[in-house]
Chains A and B, each alone.
Chain A
Amino acid sequence: MAVMTIAKPRVMVVDDEPDINLTFKTGLEANGFVVDAFSDPVLALSNFKPGVYDLLLLDVRMPQINGFELYEKFRKIDSKVKACFITAHDVYYQSLKEIFPPRKEMLLSGAKGVLRKPISINDLIETVETFRRDGDQ
Chain B
Amino acid sequence: MEISKGSSRNMILKGTQNVIDAEVQSFSKAQTRVDTYMNYTRPPLAIGLDPIRKAFLHSKDRGIYLRYITEITKENLSCCKELIKIVDQMRHLDAIKGNFMVSESEYVGPLILFEHGKIAPQAVYSNISEVVEQQQYLFDNFWNQAIPAEERIKEIEEGVMPVRTRLLENRVEIIKQLKHLNNSANKLSICSTFGGMQMSYNYLFDSYNNVVDKHRTGDSKEGMRWIINIDMESLDLVKIFLNSGIQIRHVKNIPPMNFGVSDQEMAVTLEKMEAGKMSQSFLISNEHLYTNHFNSLFDELWKNGIDAKDRIEDVEQGNLGDIEVIPNSARAKELYLNLVKSANEEVLLIFPTTNAFIRQHKMGVVQLAKEAAQQRNVKVRILMPKHESTEPLVRNLKEDTHHYRNYDIDVRYYIEQTSGTKATILVADRKHSLVMELRDDSKNSFDEAVGFSTYSDSRPGVLSYVSIFENIWLQTEMYKKVKETERMQKEFIDIAAHELRNPIQPILGLTEILHSQIKDVKQKELLDTIYRNAKRLNRLTEDVLDLTKIESQSLQLHTEHFNLRDMILNTIADSRNEIKKEYKDNIVLEFVRKNDIFIEADRGRLNQVVSNLLNNAIKFTKEGIIVTTAEKKDSHVVISVKDTGTGIDPEILPRLFTRFATKSESKTGTGLGLFISKSIVEAHGGRIWAENNSDEKGATFTFSLPLEC
Contact = CB atoms under 8 A, between A and B. Distances in A.
B505 interface: yes
A94 B538 CA distance: 19
Contacts of B504: 117-118
Contacts of A23: 505-506, 509-510, 513
Given A94-B556, A97-B558, A122-B512, A88 B501 contact: yes
Given A90-B545, A120-B508, A26 B501 contact: no
Interface residues of A, number: 21
Q: Which 8 A-B pairs have the closest CB atoms?
A: A23-B509, A88-B501, A118-B505, A19-B506, A23-B506, A121-B512, A118-B504, A117-B505
Contacts of B501: 88, 117-118
Nearest to B501: A88
B493 to A, nearest CB: 13
A30 B518 CA distance: 13
A120 B512 contact: yes
Contacts of A17: 502
A94 B556 CA distance: 10
Contact of A119 (B499, B505, B510, B513): B505
A40 to B, nearest CB: 17
Contacts of A118: 501, 504-505, 508-509, 538
Interface in A63-111: 88-90, 94, 97
B666 interface: no
Interface in B484-539: 498-499, 501-506, 508-510, 512-513, 516-517, 538
B502 A22 contact: no
Contacts of A22: 506, 510
A117 B545 CA distance: 14
Pick the most buried of B498, B505, B516, B545: most chain A CB atoms within 10 A of its CB: B505
B509 A120 contact: yes
A20 B508 contact: no
B679 to A, nearest CB: 16
A9 interface: no
Contacts of B556: 94
A28 to B, nearest CB: 10
B512 A117 contact: no
Interface of A: 17, 19-20, 22-24, 26-27, 30, 88-90, 94, 97, 117-122, 124
B467 to A, nearest CB: 46
B509 A24 contact: yes
Main secondary structure of the interface of B (DSSP, over half): helix
A121 B558 contact: no
Contacts of A90: 498, 545
A90 B504 CA distance: 16
Nearest to B554: A90
Nearest to A24: B509
Interface string B532-575: 00000010000001000000000010100000000000000000
A121 B506 CA distance: 10
A135 B558 CA distance: 26
Nearest to A89: B498
A30 B556 CA distance: 37
B558 A20 contact: no
Contacts, number: 55
26 contacts: A19-B503, A20-B502, A20-B505, A20-B506, A22-B506, A22-B510, A23-B505, A23-B510, A23-B513, A26-B509, A26-B510, A26-B513, A88-B499, A88-B502, A88-B505, A89-B498, A117-B502, A117-B505, A118-B538, A120-B508, A120-B509, A120-B512, A121-B509, A121-B512, A122-B512, A124-B509
Interface in B639-662: none
Contacts of B499: 88
Contacts of B503: 19
Contacts of B508: 118, 120
A137 B581 CA distance: 46
B539 to A, nearest CB: 11
B498 A88 contact: yes
A30 B503 CA distance: 21
A90 to B, nearest CB: 7
A27 B517 CA distance: 11
A107 B558 CA distance: 21
Contacts of A121: 509, 512-513
A97 B602 CA distance: 13
Interface in B572-605: none
Nearest to A17: B502
Contact of B512 (A27, A88, A94, A97): A27
Interface in B335-387: none
- Best-surrounded residue of A30, A119, A121 (most CB of chain B within 10 A): A121
Most central of B503, B508, B509, B556 by chain A CB within 10 Å: B509
Contacts of B505: 19-20, 23, 88, 117-119
Given A118-B504, A118-B509, 20 more contacts: A20-B505, A23-B505, A23-B509, A24-B509, A26-B509, A26-B513, A27-B509, A27-B512, A27-B513, A30-B516, A88-B501, A90-B498, A90-B545, A117-B505, A118-B501, A118-B508, A119-B509, A120-B512, A122-B512, A124-B509
